[in-house]
Amino acid sequence: MKIEDISKKTDQLIRIEQSDLMPLPYPYDNPEKNPPMKMLTQEQRDRYEASLDGVLAIGIPKPQSAAEEKTFIDKFLSGLAKLFTKENNWTFLQPLMHSLEYCVKCQLCNDSCPAYIASGKKEIYRPTFRPEVLRRIINKYLKKSPLSPPPSQGGPGGLWLKFTGSDIDLNWITVARLAELAYRCTLCRKCAQVCPLGVDNGLITHEIRKLFSQELGIAPKELHEQGTIQQLKVGSSTGLSPKALSNIISFMEDDIEEKTGKRIKIPVDKKGAEILLMHNAGEFISWPENPEAFAIIFDAAGIDWTLSSELVGYDAVNYGVWYDDIQLARIAIAHAETAKKLKVKKISVGECGHSHKAMIVVADRVLTGDLNIPRESALPLLEDLVCNERIKIDPNKNNFPVTLHDPCNMVRLMGIVEPQRKILRKICPQFIEMEPHGVENYCCGGGSGFAIMQSMNFPDWRSVISGRVKLKQILETFHDTISPEIKKYVCAPCSNCKGQIRELFNYYNVWEECGIFYGGLVELIVNAMVDIEKPFIDWEWH
């Protein structure tokens, strides 16, 4: 396959075949026994542009007329031009220019990409493929060089463009495929980490997503309409309203009492509290045991804390960080305003990787003046409570094999590596590291929004391709204890990673076949607390 093939009208650029995929270890070492990827229906194919790889993350409807095609291309080009203007894209202009201009195409980064290796090295998933397509479009259609206009526009461009390797045709299919392709990279930035020249192919993907969202209004609906738009409107990307939150909090208080025998009042909207704890609202709905565990720990340690019931303030997520700078800024400001109103001393982010990165790191240059409220991860505080014995722990209660998944956003992109490990070393006698780990970890496959994207057959792609390396790592880590009789635990201190691991394990039936469970970090802490009599982890698959 050549790069310029992205513009050619073919049924599908690549096909994902079981036999091409990276092999998995036992008990998934027979590719024929592994579940096949769902195919799109004919109706879906007729309706949407699916000629990239037969998978749909966005699902762009096919154009009905030549005029519609032209508008689409023109808008794409106008958006592309805006990416290079200071007023529209000061946010990432310097990193973007660097990454576009200084890649020497040595391909050193290729083998660090989980999607590329898992797919059996399909060309379109190569970290350098997307950037190269974009570079060619820019060189041919955007740059004002006297040599670059194509012959159709009166320049000698044809030959020159071929000579300089900028040969590509911009048509509807190129643009639609590029939009889909921007959602085959998890923005894990492992490729960027190995690049000797500081080029960041993940960043280029991020910028392509932005151009589609900010100029054409195109983004996966789970990130946009049901994500950031819904969060700003009803308070949470989950659709959770303040009223529903209040019901869940009551439920959590009852649940804590049932599990621990203690009645804990979960503080909400407590003015002047030391800490405003912000969770990914998905925790309240899918894994309430996680915010419950936080409440138990904070109560036991006598921490002065509160949750918020303010719109947006009870959902730490900020999907804008993956696809849209304006949405990122709006949500970051809403988060900070919640804290400002409550007059808390600081915001502490619970177990959600991208919320960490968005709220603490990226939004640091969005929040100015009195909105710049101190923000930190909850992990150093937990480390302090556990390692300095501010809560009593009996590690024998966690005497089962445990491994740690490093969420990219928290670790490679933020440098929070040791607090979670120090805790696990203290509370889990059978803690074992995955390889590679820490800042060199592999993404769970659900990064950059993938974990919540449910479009058509995209969830299958996520389990078969983007999560494949993580599954392999987990199976290899528990290689010696792989029998389902031995219960094992993957600690993933991130809601999105947990969502992805749940789907991945469901897809391959990992709980039944290998006895591998998953959950957060605080659940393990509470499970080991001396004054909690019953086990907190119930080993009930959900």
Binding site for ligand SF4 (CB under 6 A): 103-109, 112-113, 115, 127-128, 185-191, 195, 197, 199, 201-202, 205
Question: Taking CB under 8 A as the criterion, which residues in 37-76 touch another protein?
Answer: 75
Kindly tell me which of 192 and 266 has the beta carbon lying closer to ligand SF4.
192
Which of 128, 230, 236, 290 binds another protein (CB under 8 A)? It is 128
Binding segment toward another protein, per CB under 8 A, in 50-58, 66-74, 211-219, 492-500: 211-219
Distance in Å, CB of 239 to ligand SF4, minimum? 29
Binding at 191: pick from another protein, ligand SF4, none (beta carbon under 5-8 Å per type): ligand SF4
Quote the Cα angle for 403-409-414, to 5°.
100
Strand partners, 275: 305, 346
Which of ligand SF4, another protein, none does 187 bind, CB closer than 5 to 8 A by kind? ligand SF4
Nearer to another protein, 327 or 463 (CB): 327
Could you tell me the two tokens for 231? 């969060």
Within 255-314, which residues bind another protein (CB under 8 A)? Answer: none
Q: Specify which residues 278 forms β-bridges with.
A: 349
Alpha-carbon span 238 to 337, nearest angstrom: 20
Q: Among residues 412 and 502, whose Cβ is nearest to ligand SF4?
A: 412
Binding partner of residue 87 among another protein, ligand SF4, none, CB cut-off 5 to 8 Å per kind: another protein
Which residues, other chains included, contact 256 with Cβ-Cβ below 8 Å and sequence gap of 6+? 262, 263, 264, 292, 295, 296
Distance of CA 205 to the CA centre of its chain: 13
Residue number, 107 or 145, with CB nearest to ligand SF4:
107
Q: How far is the CB of 131 from ligand SF4 (least distance, A)?
A: 7
Using CB under 8 A, pick the residue from 360, 404, 434, 524 that binds another protein. 360
113 contact choice in ligand SF4, another protein, none (CB below 5 to 8 Å, kind-dependent): ligand SF4
Give yes or no for residue 132 binding another protein (CB under 8 A): yes
Number of residues engaging another protein in binding (CB under 8 A)? 87
Residue of the chain from 214, 280, 338, 527 that contacts another protein (CB under 8 A) = 214
3 lies in the site for another protein, by CB under 8 A: yes
Q: State in angstroms the smallest separation of the CB of 167 from another protein.
A: 9
Structure tokens at 451: 């974990």
CB environment 456-476: b (16+ within 10 A), e (fewer): bbbbbbbbbbbbbbbbbbbbe
Q: Which two tokens stand for residue 349?
A: 């982010």
CB of 47 vs another protein, minimal distance in Å:
22
Residue 260 or 448: which CB sits closer to another protein? 448
Taking CB within 5 to 8 Å according to partner kind, which of another protein, ligand SF4, none is near residue 185? ligand SF4
E runs forming strands in 336-405: 346-349, 375-377, 402-404
How large is the C-alpha radius of gyration of the chain? Answer: 24
- 331 alpha carbon, distance to own chain's centre: 17
Long-range contacts of 66-74 (CB under 8 A, 24+ apart): 69/171, 69/172, 72/172, 72/175, 72/176, 72/216, 73/170, 73/171, 73/172, 73/175
The reply to whether 216 sits near another protein by the rule CB under 8 A is yes
Tokens 């300089």 — which residue?
164
Phi/psi at 353 (5° precision): -65, -55
Chosen from ligand SF4, another protein, none, partner binding at 82 (C-beta under 5 to 8 Å by type): another protein
Nearer CB in complex with ligand SF4: 104/326: 104
Residues in 383-412 that interact with another protein by CB under 8 A: 383-384, 411-412
User: Which two three-digit tokens encode residue 513?
Assistant: 């076949």
Cα(first)–Cα(last) distance of the chain, in Å? Answer: 42
Q: Please answer whether residues 531 and 392 qualify as being in contact, where contact means their C-beta atoms are separated by less than 8 angstroms.
A: yes
Using left for φ > 0, alpha for ψ between -120 and 50, and beta otherwise, residue 515 falls in left
Name residue 435's beta-bridge partners: none
Residues 158 and 68: their CA atoms lie apart, in Å, by 27
Sign of CA dihedral 279, 200, 434, 389: negative
Whether 386 and 428 have beta carbons less than 8 Å apart is answered as no
Residues with Cβ within 8 Å of residue 70, at least 6 apart in sequence: none
Contact call for residue 381 and another protein (CB under 8 A): yes
92 counts as binding another protein under rule CB under 8 A: yes
In the region spanning residues 159 to 198, those forming contacts with another protein, defined by CB under 8 A, are: 162-166, 189, 192-194, 196-198
Least separation in angstroms between residue 187's CB and another protein is 11
Residue 405 or 502: which CB sits closer to another protein? 405
Distance CA 146, CA 68 (A): 30
**Cβ closer to ligand SF4: 189 or 397?**
189
* 158: contact with another protein by CB under 8 A: no
- Which one of 18, 34, 286, 372 is in contact with another protein (CB under 8 A)? 372
Which of 217, 261, 272, 436: binder of another protein (CB under 8 A)?
Answer: 217
Among 281, 329, 359, 504, which residue sits at the site for another protein (rule: CB under 8 A)?
329
Among another protein, ligand SF4, none, the one that 164 touches (CB under a kind-dependent 5 to 8 A) is another protein
Please, what is the minimum distance in Å from the beta carbon of residue 207 to another protein?
A: 11
Instruction: Let me know: does 453 contact 323? Beta carbons within 8 Å.
Output: no
Residue 476 · residue 469 · CB < 8 Å? no
525 binds another protein (CB under 8 A): no
Out of 186, 201, 205, 213, the residue judged to bind another protein by CB under 8 A: 213
